[in-house]
Amino acid sequence: MKLVRFWGTRGSLPVALTAAALRGRLIAAVRGARGLALASERAVEDYVDGLDFALAGTFGGHTSCVQIETGDADYVLCDLGSGVRPFGEAAIARHGPRTPQTYHIFMSHVHWDHIMGLPFFAPAYIPGNRVRIYGGHVDLEAALRRQMDPPSFPVDFDTMRADIEFVHLPPGIRHEVAGMTVTTLRQRHAGDSYGYRFERGGRTVVYTTDSEHKLTEAAETRSFVDFFRDADLVVFDAMYSLAEATTVKADWGHSSNVVGVELCQLAGVAHLCLFHHEPAADDAQIAAVLADTRRLEEITRSGRPMRISSAYDGMEIAL
C-alpha cells in the first residue's frame, strides 16, 4: 500500500461552504494582507500558503469515501458516500470511459450517508467495468438496491451496466482481497458497522468509522487495541467531543478525538487521522479540535510521538 486519499470526510450528510462564510474568509484574508508587499505572483501565493487552513482551505463537504492505493491497477475504496462521485469522475478522466477497470469497495455499513453516492458513481454505468462490493451485512445488496427504487430515485439499480457483485465478509476472519489481507471487526453502532484492517507489504491501514467505544468495557477495548495494533494509519470516527459522546449523544454510535488518542496510543499506532466530521462543525471548529488533539497526544505520550491529522476532501497520506 502506498497512499490513502480522501474523497469524502463528513458524517451524516454533505455540507457546503456558504457564500456568507466564503465572504468572511475573503475579508479576513484581505485584512491580513494590509501592509504586505504583494507585487509578484509568487508573493501572493506565499501569502495564501501561509494562511491557516481553516481560513484558506476547507475540510470539505462530501460524506465518507476513502481510497487506498495499493500499487496495483485495481481501485480500492471504503464506503460509497457522496465523495464517490468526484472519485468516479477522476477515474474516468484518468483512463477514459472505454478502458475496463476493477473497483473493490468495502462498506462500513448501509446508513444513507455511506451509500448515497452509488447512484452517481459513473463507472458503475459503464459496460466492462467490474465493481466488487464487500461488507459484513447480509442485506448489503438489498439496501443499495432499495435506495434507487421508485419513488426514491429516477434511475433503477439495474440500469447500471458494470459487472456488479456483492461479497459477504464474515467478521474475525482474514480474507485475501486485491492483494491485501483484510480483517473485519463488528462495531457498536445502530444496525452494526464494520471496521477494516488492510495489510500489505508490511503496511497496515485501519478504517474505522461509525463506531462508539465504551472504555469501561475492558474486553471490547482490548479487541479494538488489538485490531489497531502497530497500524501505520488509523482513520477514526471523531464526530463528537468526549463530553457529547458520554452524555447527550451517548449511544448515538460515534466516538471522539480523545478516545481515538487513547486507543491508538495503547495500540502503538503511528498516525491517527480524525474523520467523519460533525456536519454542524465549521472549518474553524474542526481545526480547533485538531489542535486540541495534538496537544492531548503530546501531554499523554509515553512512547514514540504519534502523528495526528484531520481528514479533508482531497487530502493524501503517504504510507
Shared domain for 28 and 157, answered yes or no, is no
- What percent of the chain clears pLDDT 90, i.e. is strictly above it? 89
| Pair 32, 12 in one domain | no
Identify whether the C-beta of residue 129 lies closer than 8 Å to the C-beta of residue 136: no
Domain shared by 48 and 66, yes or no: no
Q: Specify the pLDDT at position 305.
A: 96
- Same domain for 113 and 222? yes
pLDDT at 249: 78
> Does 214 lie in the same domain as 84?
yes
Q: How would residue 245 be classed by pLDDT, with cut points 50, 70 and 90?
A: confident
Residue 310 has pLDDT above 80, yes or no: yes
Backbone phi, then psi, for 64, in 5-degree steps?
-50, 120
Confidence of residue 274 (pLDDT cuts 50, 70, 90): very high
Same-domain status, 68 and 170: yes
Say if residue 37 is in the same domain as residue 93. no
Give the pLDDT confidence score for residue 278 in this predicted structure: 95
pLDDT tens digit sequence for 23-81: 999 999 999 999 898 889 999 999 999 999 999 999 989 999 999 999 999 999 999 99
Residue 248 has pLDDT above 80, yes or no: no
Domain that holds residue 45: 19-55
3 pLDDT tier (thresholds 50, 70, 90): very high
List the CATH number of the domain containing 267.
3.60.15.10
3-state secondary structure the chain: CCEEEEEECECCCCCCCCHHHHHHHHHHHHHHCCCCCCCCHHHHHHHHHCCCHHHHCCCCCCECEEEEECCCCCEEEECCCCCHHHHHHHHHHHHCCCCCCEEEEEECCCCHHHHCCHHHCHHHHCCCCEEEEEECCCCHHHHHHHCCCCCCCCCCHHHCCCEEEEEECCCCCEEEECCEEEEEEEEECCCCEEEEEEEECCEEEEEECCCECCCCCHHHHHHHHHHHCCCCEEEEECCECHHHHHCCCCCCCCCEHHHHHHHHHHHCCCEEEEECECCCCCHHHHHHHHHHHHHHHHHHCCCCCCEEEECCCCCEEEC
Identify whether residues 92 and 120 lie together within a single domain. yes
Task: Give the mean pLDDT of the chain.
Answer: 95
Same domain for 176 and 38:
no
89 and 236 fall within a common domain: yes
Residue 174 is predicted with a pLDDT of: 94
pTM of the model: 0.95
Whether residues 51 and 150 share a domain: the answer is no
Residues 263 and 280 both lie in one domain: yes
pLDDT at 1: 87
- pLDDT tens digit sequence for 129-141: 999 999 999 999 9
Q: How many domains does the chain have?
A: 2
Residue 270 CA to residue 289 CA, distance in Å, equals: 19
Question: pLDDT (tens digit, 9 = 90+) per residue, 168-204?
Answer: 999 888 999 999 999 999 999 999 999 999 999 999 9
